[in-house]
Amino acid sequence: MIGRSQQDLIKAVLTQAHFSRVKKMLHDYSGIFLAEGKEALVKARLLKRLRRLGLYDFDDYFDYIESDKSGVEFLSLVDVLTTNKTSFFRESQHFDYINDVVMPTINDREVAWWSAGCSSGEEPYTLAMNYLQYKKGRGNLRILATDISSLVLQRAKEGIYSAEHVRDIPDAWLKKYFTRIGVNPEAWQVDDRIASMIKFGRLNLQESWPMKGPFNIIMCRNVMIYFNRDTQQKLIKRFYDLLEPGGHLFLGHSETISGPNPGFVSVRPAAYQKK
């Protein structure tokens, strides 16, 4: 049976004014654009915060955010509203392209790659495994992996994944780069060898970036899809400036460079090279 407080929570109404307010707050801060029609999704996600805080009404929730001068609750709101879907070897043609085209140009040179919008870590860990396989365990790669959400970054740093999560990793690689730490339920943890190649950090792509580059690869896949065109174009230019000449930018498969192109050449679907 549902308890009294739970029933009150279910009755909480997210008005159009509430939705517009969330939409503006999220967009101003992160660039994420919430389309009309996402009201039910936003309500379901925000209810998690109301439940956690013991609040039963969205007006009270917004008052709470405003009174929280630490900004912690605002970041929790951003956390619940980001979409963090990811997987190992997602859009695997990009990793094949890296093996076929990028790796032969690197040799033993020290390189830096950036996974921008890395979610829970599957993308940068895939990059690290792929590199080590190619280089037969040696090499000189540093990977920066950033996201706006502290929640997913915490999971990424722990590097612990369920059987469901690791199902796209070839068995031999799983045994080589992970340690089985749980049987029932099955759980696997990334080994130090690949974890030590990656530096995770919180970074909002809309703010200033502390790193100077240059990067040999920037992957920003399935992130810009949530931004409007103007925000996307500004980001593309900033990525261009941080890449070394000949460096590559990888976007998600439904994302492209639209509008002014700072000088990228399209080399594969959603893969671009700085000339």
Ligand X SMILES: C[S@@+](CC[C@H](N)C(=O)[O-])C[C@H]1O[C@@H](n2cnc3c(N)ncnc32)[C@H](O)[C@@H]1O
Burial of 192 (0-12, 13-18, 19+ CB in 10 A): exposed
Using CB under 6 A, pick the residue from 30, 76, 216, 233 that binds ligand X: 30
Q: Give yes or no for residue 204 binding ligand X (CB under 6 A).
A: yes
Active site residue 60: no
> E strand or H helix at 266, and its extent?
strand 264-268
**Least distance to ligand X from the beta carbon of 94, Å?**
10
Q: Give yes or no for residue 23 binding ligand X (CB under 6 A).
A: no
Helix spans in the chain (H)? 4-10, 16-30, 39-53, 58-67, 72-81, 93-97, 103-106, 122-134, 150-158, 171-177, 192-195, 229-242
Q: Give yes or no for residue 18 binding ligand X (CB under 6 A).
A: no
Q: Give yes or no for residue 233 binding ligand X (CB under 6 A).
A: no
**Least distance to ligand X from the beta carbon of 123, Å?**
5
- Say if residues 242 and 270 touch (Cβ distance below 8 Å): no
Active site residue 63: no
Using CB under 6 A, pick the residue from 179, 206, 256, 261 that binds ligand X: 206
Which stretch, 64-72, 98-106, 201-209, 262-270, contacts ligand X (CB under 6 A)? Answer: 201-209
- For residues 254 and 249, give the distance between their C-alpha atoms in angstroms, rounded to a whole number: 14
Q: Give yes or no for residue 85 binding ligand X (CB under 6 A).
A: yes
- Say if residues 30 and 22 touch (Cβ distance below 8 Å): no
Q: Which residues sit opposite 200 in a β-bridge? A: 145
Which residue among the candidates 45, 51, 155, 238 is catalytic per the annotation?
45
Residue with smaller CB distance to ligand X, 222 or 233:
222
How far is residue 254 CA from its own chain's centroid?
A: 16
Binding mask 159-198 for ligand X (x = CB under 6 A): ----------------------------------------
> E strand or H helix at 268, and its extent?
strand 264-268
What is the chain's alpha carbon radius of gyration, rounded to the nearest angstrom? Answer: 21
Residue with smaller CB distance to ligand X, 155 or 176:
155
Length of the chain in terms of residues written: 275
**Least distance to ligand X from the beta carbon of 237, Å?**
16
Chain contacts with ligand X (rule: CB under 6 A): 30-32, 82-86, 90, 117-119, 123, 147-149, 152, 203-206, 221-223, 226, 252
- Catalytic residue numbers, as ranges: 45, 147
